[in-house]
Copies of this chain bind each other. A is one copy, B any other.
Amino acid sequence: MRLSKLVGNRYKEVPADISVMSHIMLLRGGYIRPVTNGIFSLYTPTKLIAQKIEAIIRKEMNYIDGQEVSMPVVMPQSMWEESGRYYSIGNEMVRFRDRTGSGMVLGMTHEEAAVHLVKDAASTYKSYPFMIYQIQTKFRDEARSRGGLIRVREFTMKDAYSFHTSQEDLDEYYEKCHLAYERIFALAGLPEVVSVKSDSGMMGGSVSHEFMLLCDAGEDTIVVCSECDYRANIEATSCIIESSSAEGSNEEITEVYTPDTTDIASVADFLKVPASMICKAIVYETEKEAGLAVVFIRGDLEVNEAKLRNIIDSDIFVARAEESAKVFENGFIGPRFIPEGIKVYIDESLKGIKSLVAGSGKKDYHIKGYCFDRDYNMPEYVNIAKPFDGCICPNCKKPAIKLTRGIEVGNIFELGQKYTKAMDMTYADINGELMNPIMGCYGIGVGRLIGSICEAKHDEHGPIWPITVAPWKVHICAVRADMEDVKTTAETLYSKLKQLGIEVIFDDRNLRAGAMFADADLLGVPVRVIVSPKNIENSRVEVVTRDKKYSDFYAIDDAVQRITELIEKLEKEIMSNVPNY
């Protein structure tokens, strides 16, 4: 490809109001063009990167016996009614009526379509296990698309669905797929992607992992133990929070006058007790039952709302003051006065504390000496406190938890029989009995992975594409292409490399060197070959890698051979980080 013909502009200017680095780089480098909020067209370099990534994914999926299929973007509403998700998913799913008035949806995931596709094709146990996958367009009407390709509304995704006759078989396949995923990310140049335990969310199922690129631009919070290999999405973690005063004294409950102390800070200040000895009450409104729920938690802690959401099995939000005031004395809510019909959740952090300050239920009064174990009628504790740096790892029990941020680039779920039961997919087992297969599902967002690679691999001048996914492997810069020698040498090199099947981009524009190199930096091609009058004079070309780790001069006669070797070296570096099957 000649750069003079490449469609797409590159810009020196940093776009205003954009903070995610990969977003900036992809806009500046002529990779993406926003069509509307969360929807992009992709220029050729991005399409080439996507194809490389898709080829990597395809190879690994085929290796673990995946069969590539194709399911539609537009699906009938009726199919989603069968699984029940037509009702449980909110307005992130696009719904419309076709010309005949039939309800249709745009696919944001394809569990239903996968079951529909294989339902009649696997009626005996002999056909199992099997896995189907596709690499296909999906649409999810995100309220908050952001970060360029990191979170979009329309995206290309590899989604795979496996079908099994036993939990053991699924577990085994799940592990295989986990390894395939590690290989895929390492092959794409991101060996630093880690898997973390995750929350299954709307997918249903139990065991699940997310593959995370840990970086500041991530929008997920990840809990990582610095002493063992424990890692989890904050939504799925169960960190242990030691009750700081399990040994406190066993005193009587007394009421104290605490005028105008409606928050933890003012109560702590007024009564001279630490926040960790105060029982905090937070009232939530739930979407599901349209009712209120109250959470009690240690005064120095926050609620992990994702976990609470899962426990309540409904979307939740902190109650509006006026809603809460209908049944509670806001600011003085306590465990002794819970109105009828209000569900109570007590966080484990309160367990064992013998003497708490808590709301009295009456305006301007708190109580002292409250102990849930003693004074609450059979308390059931739940783990819904948000972890913090230094809290206790649920695995190794050391106070070594760190919070970090991550971009989810893939996920794997054990789905169980949720969909096969709902959609009545059965097979005859060895005894002729009809059973529902057990499913797993496995996703990777192709565009998000491109954004993530860019996020992890760039310098201030542009992306540094790993050689396995780079749009081209070699970038030839012909400085002073108006000079015959330069032109001939560059053209010869270009055609020789192309003949060898090496992907080359050739900057034939005869710009000044600075502008040329700035563009080369933005295109991020791993091997740069500079043909210039000075180099030609010395019968050589200059070769540098985009990451600046390697730089040398090659004799013109040797150049093709040595460039080929350099490419192999870079590829081997990538391969050295890929785990084996």
Contact = CB atoms under 8 A, between A and B. Distances in A.
A116 interface: yes
Contact of A74 (B30, B65, B118, B154): B154
Given A33-B117, A94-B96, A47 B69 contact: yes
Interface in A98-140: 98-100, 102, 104, 106, 113, 116-118, 120-122, 126-127, 130, 132, 134, 136-137, 139
Contact of A71 (B36, B41, B72, B121): B41
Interface string A204-240: 0000000000000000000000000000000000000
A143 to B, nearest CB: 7
Contact of A117 (B43, B50, B122, B156): B43
Nearest to A91: B99
Contact of A39 (B33, B39, B74, B134): B74
A55 to B, nearest CB: 11
Contacts of A51: 68
Interface residues of A, number: 67
B42 A69 contact: yes
A40 B500 CA distance: 40
Contact of A67 (B7, B69, B154): B7
Contacts of A69: 7, 41-44, 47
Interface string A165-180: 0000000000000000
A405 interface: no
Interface string A69-100: 11111111011000000000001101110111
B40 A68 contact: no
Interface centre among A7, A8, A47, A96 (most CB of B within 10 A): A7
A89 to B, nearest CB: 12
Contacts of A41: 69-72, 113, 116-117
A141 B72 contact: no
Contacts of A126: 4
A375 to B, nearest CB: 46
Contact of A98 (B8, B94, B104): B94
Interface string A1-17: 10011111100000000
A153 interface: yes
Nearest to A98: B141
Contacts of A141: 98-99
Nearest to A36: B76
A54 to B, nearest CB: 11
Contacts of A92: 99
A542 B50 CA distance: 43
A106 B9 contact: no
A43 B147 CA distance: 35
B35 A116 contact: yes
A383 interface: no
A72 B138 CA distance: 10
A46 interface: yes
Contacts of A96: 94-96
A386 B75 CA distance: 40
A32 to B, nearest CB: 10
Interface centre among A46, A127, A143 (most CB of B within 10 A): A127
A555 to B, nearest CB: 32
A189 to B, nearest CB: 21
A113 B36 CA distance: 11
Contacts of A121: 7-9, 30, 43
Contacts of A47: 68-70, 134
Nearest to A51: B68
Contact of A73 (B42, B71, B73, B113): B73
Nearest to A119: B33
A172 to B, nearest CB: 16
B99 A130 contact: no
A116 B33 contact: yes
Contacts of A6: 67
Interface centre among A41, A91, A92, A136 (most CB of B within 10 A): A41
Contact of A5 (B130, B136, B154): B130
Nearest to A71: B41
Contacts of A127: 5, 7
Nearest to A50: B70
A156 to B, nearest CB: 8
Given A130-B5, A154-B72, A143 B36 contact: no
A336 to B, nearest CB: 43
B75 A35 contact: yes
Contacts of A42: 69-70
A42 B113 CA distance: 11
A212 B98 CA distance: 29
Contacts of A1: 67
Given A7-B118, A113-B35, A44 B68 contact: yes
A286 to B, nearest CB: 21
Contacts of A91: 99
B35 A120 contact: no
Contacts of A4: 126
B117 A73 contact: no
A38 B56 CA distance: 32
12 contacts: A7-B69, A33-B117, A35-B72, A36-B78, A39-B72, A46-B70, A50-B70, A73-B73, A73-B154, A92-B99, A95-B96, A99-B141
**3 closest Cβ contacts across the A-B interface?**
A96-B96, A42-B70, A36-B76
